[in-house]
Chain A
Amino acid sequence: MAEYIITTEKGKWEVICGLEIHCQIISKSKIFSGASTEFGDDVNENVSFVDAGMPGMLPTLNKECVHQAVKTGLGLNAVINKYSQFSRKNYFYADLPQGYQITQFEYPIVGEGAIDIDLSDGTSKIIRIERMHIEQDAGKSIHDMSPTKSFIDLNRAGVGLMEIVTKPDFRSPEEAGAFLKKLRSIVRYLGTCDGNMDEGSMRCDASISVRPVGSVELRPRAEVKNVNSVKFVMQAIEYEAKRQVELYEKGETMEQQTRQFDSVNGVTKFMRKKEFSNDYRYFPEPDLPPLILTDEFINKIKSELVELPDVKKARFVKDMGLTAYDAMVICENKETAEFFEKAAKGHDAKKVANWLMGDFFAMLNEKKLELKDSPVSAENLGALVELITTNVINGKTAKDVFAIMAETGDNPEKIVEEKGLKQVTDTSAIEKMIDDLLASATDNVAAYRGGKVGLFGWFVGQIMKQSQGKANPTLVNELLKKKLG
C-alpha cells in the first residue's frame, strides 16, 4: 500500500482523517412530515405546518426513510440496531424553524460497519464505519439578495438525511476520494440517495489532523465543513495537512477548530469562533417513542437488496474474466453494469467490455447522451461483438458498422446484410486476389524476397483495398506469408 507521507526538511508526517457524510434520503415525502421532497419547486411551496414549526405541530416518522436507512446500513455491511431513539439537538438559526433539529444522538439506527476501497496501486483497504443515523435537514438561507436582509426558504427543512460517520481510518487524500466514490456508488445502486455532491444531496465534512510518522498520539483536529465535490475533499485534505505540518514545525500549536474550504483558492479558512460555544443540550425526543425494528422487517429488506457493486465486480471478474480494473469502472454505475451484463450475455464478455469502455462511451460523449438514451441497445452491442467473434466481419468493418448503428439504431446484422459488408473469408477468393497482386507487383515481390520485409504491410494493404476492407485480415496474413515465402 502506497503511503502518503509529508516529508519536510525537519521530519516525516502522516495524515489522519475521518469523514462525516450527509446523504439526502430519496423518498416522496419528508422524514417527519408529509410535504414533498421535490427539489426546485417554488419558494416555501413544499412546506407543511410541521416543517414551519407552527404551534402544536408534531413529527411523524416516514416508513420509507427507515427502509432507506436500513438498506444503506446493509450496503455498508453494518449492524442494524433494532432499538434506536430520536433526540433533539437544540440551537437557534434562521433555517431551523423549531429551534431544534430532530436527530439521533445516543441510539442511532445503524452501528458499526466497513467497506472496501480500491486504490490506484491495485491494493484495497478497509474503511470502518462508526455509525449512521437519520435526521432532518434544515431550510435554506439566502444571504446575497439584499445588503441588510437574509431570506429563508423552508422547502428543504425536514427532508430526511442519513449521516454516516467513518472512523479516522483515512491516511491520504486518495483514500478519502476513493471512499466517497464508493459510497456514492453504493447509495446510487441502492436507490437511497442520488449522491450528487454538486447539488447538495451528498455533503461531506472532513476531520483532519497530522502526526509525526511513528507516533500514536492523536492531535487536535480541524473539521472542514461542507465540501461539495470529491475533488475538493481531496484538495482540502492535502492543503490542510500541509498547513498543520508547517504550523507544528514552526513550533506552534493548534486547537480543535472548524474550517471552511475555499474552492476558488484551494485553501481552508478558519471559521469565526462564536462568543458562547454552542451547547446542543441533546435529550430524547419526547414526541417520538423509540423505534423498534423486527428481524422480519430487516430480513425482508435484506432479501430484496440489489446486488451491490463489490459483489457484482467480483462476479464479473470471476465469471466473465474481466480485469479488476475494467470491472471496477463498469460497476461504478449500476445502470452501466446492467447494460454491460445484458450486452455480454452469450457473447465474449471481455470484448464487449472493451467496446463498451472504448467506442461506445466515446459515442455517447460525443453525442452528449446519457446511457439510457443510447441509440445503440445493449443487445445490439452484444450482437456486434458476436459478428466479430464469429469472423463475419473484421475489426475495422465493425467500427464502420458501429458508426451506422449509432446513427440509425439498427441492429448490426441488418446493416452488414444491407451494405454487403460481410467479411471475405473465402480462401480461394483471397488466394486469387493475392495471385493477381503478386503477378502485377513483381518489383515489390522481388524487393521483399530480397530482404525488405517491411513491405509486407504494403501487400496486406493492397489486398484489403482490393477487397474493399472485407477480407479477413488473419487469413490474408496467413496466405500472403505462404505465397510470398
Chain B
Amino acid sequence: MAVDNDMVRNIAFLSRLSVKQDKLEETKQEFNKILAWVEELGEVNTDNVEPLVSVNNESLLLREDEVTAGQMSEKVLANAPAKEFGYFVVPKVVE
C-alpha cells in the first residue's frame, strides 16, 4: 500500500524527524519501494500461526525488591547538554 505526502509528514512527526519539502517526494518514493518489497509478506499463509514474541523461549525472571541503584545524580547528569539545579532542562512546555 503506497503512502502519500501527508502520510510521510505524519510519520515524520511521530518520529520527531523533519523531512524538507524538497526531499519529501524522494523520501516518499524510497519509502514506497521498500514497502512494495515488504508487501510480499502478504503471500504467506499465516492462519493459526502464533507471532514469535520471545525467540529463545526463556520465561521472565523476577528481580528481588532491593534498592541497588541511584544515589548518583552527578553521573546521571554528567552527559546532559542542559542542566540546572540538578534538573534536566528543556524548553518550556505549555500544557
Q: Do B70 and A45 have beta carbons less than 8 Å apart?
A: yes
Q: Do B13 and A276 have beta carbons less than 8 Å apart?
A: yes
Q: Do A63 and B67 have beta carbons less than 8 Å apart?
A: no
Q: B95 — which chain A residues lie within 8 A by C-beta?
A: 143
Does any Cβ of A come within 8 Å of B44's Cβ?
A: no
Please judge, given known A-B contacts A148-B92, A152-B89, whether A44 and B66 are in contact too, CB under 8 Å: no
Question: How distant is A269 from chain B, measured CB to nearest CB, in Å?
Answer: 11
- Chain A residue nearest to B64 (CB atoms) is A63
Q: B60 — which chain A residues lie within 8 A by C-beta?
A: 61, 288-292
Does any Cβ of B come within 8 Å of A34's Cβ?
A: yes
Q: How many residues on chain B are close to A (CB under 8 Å)?
A: 39
Q: In whole angstroms, how far apart are the Cα atoms of A60 and B64 in the complex?
A: 10
Does any Cβ of A come within 8 Å of B42's Cβ?
A: no
Q: A33 — which chain B residues lie within 8 A by C-beta?
A: 69
Q: Do B66 and A29 have beta carbons less than 8 Å apart?
A: yes
- Interface size classification for chain A: 35 or more
Does any Cβ of A come within 8 Å of B81's Cβ?
A: no
Question: How distant is B60 from chain A, measured CB to nearest CB, in Å?
Answer: 5
Stretch at the interface among B18-26, B29-37, B51-59: B51-59
**Among B58, B69, B89, contact of A49 (Cβ-Cβ < 8 Å):** B69
Question: How distant is B6 from chain A, measured CB to nearest CB, in Å?
Answer: 10
Q: In whole angstroms, how far apart are the Cα atoms of A147 and B68 in the complex?
A: 37
- Chain B residue nearest to A85 (CB atoms) is B53
Dominant secondary structure of chain A at its interface with chain B = loop
Does any Cβ of B come within 8 Å of A142's Cβ?
A: yes
Q: Do B54 and A289 have beta carbons less than 8 Å apart?
A: yes
User: A2-31 interface mask toward B, CB cutoff 8 Å, 1 = contact, 0 = none?
Assistant: 000000000000000000000000011100
- Chain B residue nearest to A280 (CB atoms) is B14
Q: B16 — which chain A residues lie within 8 A by C-beta?
A: 92
Does any Cβ of B come within 8 Å of A150's Cβ?
A: yes
Q: Do B14 and A34 have beta carbons less than 8 Å apart?
A: no
Does any Cβ of B come within 8 Å of A151's Cβ?
A: yes
From residue 53 to 94 of chain B, which have CB atoms closer than 8 A to chain A?
53-54, 57-73, 75-77, 84-94
The tally of CB-CB contacts under 8 A between chains A and B is 127
Q: Most chain-B CB neighbours within 10 Å: which of A48, A94, A148?
A: A48
Q: In whole angstroms, how far apart are the Cα atoms of A484 and B1 in the complex?
A: 105
Does any Cβ of A come within 8 Å of B10's Cβ?
A: yes
Does any Cβ of B come within 8 Å of A468's Cβ?
A: no
Q: A46 — which chain B residues lie within 8 A by C-beta?
A: 70-71
Q: In whole angstroms, how far apart are the Cα atoms of A150 and B94 in the complex?
A: 9
Q: In whole angstroms, how far apart are the Cα atoms of A430 and B76 in the complex?
A: 82
Q: A348 — which chain B residues lie within 8 A by C-beta?
A: none
Please judge, given known A-B contacts A43-B86, A49-B76, whether A149 and B59 are in contact too, CB under 8 Å: no
Does any Cβ of B come within 8 Å of A180's Cβ?
A: no
Question: How distant is A363 from chain B, measured CB to nearest CB, in Å?
Answer: 38
Q: Do B88 and A29 have beta carbons less than 8 Å apart?
A: no
Question: How distant is B64 from chain A, measured CB to nearest CB, in Å?
Answer: 6
Q: A152 — which chain B residues lie within 8 A by C-beta?
A: 87-90
Question: How distant is B50 from chain A, measured CB to nearest CB, in Å?
Answer: 11
Does any Cβ of B come within 8 Å of A366's Cβ?
A: no
Q: Do B73 and A289 have beta carbons less than 8 Å apart?
A: no
Q: In whole angstroms, how far apart are the Cα atoms of A152 and B54 in the complex?
A: 34
Question: How distant is B47 from chain A, measured CB to nearest CB, in Å?
Answer: 19
Q: Do B77 and A63 have beta carbons less than 8 Å apart?
A: no
From residue 286 to 333 of chain A, which have CB atoms closer than 8 A to chain B?
288-292
Q: In whole angstroms, how far apart are the Cα atoms of A85 and B89 in the complex?
A: 34
- Chain B residue nearest to A93 (CB atoms) is B93
Q: A52 — which chain B residues lie within 8 A by C-beta?
A: 76
Q: A370 — which chain B residues lie within 8 A by C-beta?
A: none
Question: How distant is B72 from chain A, measured CB to nearest CB, in Å?
Answer: 8
Please name 13 further chain A to chain B contacts, defined as beta carbons within 8 Å, in addition to the given A33-B69, A44-B76, A92-B16, sorted by A numbering: A34-B70, A45-B71, A52-B76, A61-B63, A62-B62, A143-B93, A146-B92, A149-B90, A150-B92, A151-B89, A153-B86, A276-B10, A281-B14
A-B contacts, 26 of them at CB < 8 A, read A28-B67, A29-B69, A34-B66, A34-B67, A35-B70, A43-B73, A43-B86, A43-B87, A45-B70, A47-B73, A48-B69, A141-B90, A141-B93, A143-B94, A146-B92, A148-B91, A150-B93, A151-B89, A152-B88, A288-B60, A289-B57, A289-B59, A290-B53, A290-B60, A291-B59, A292-B60
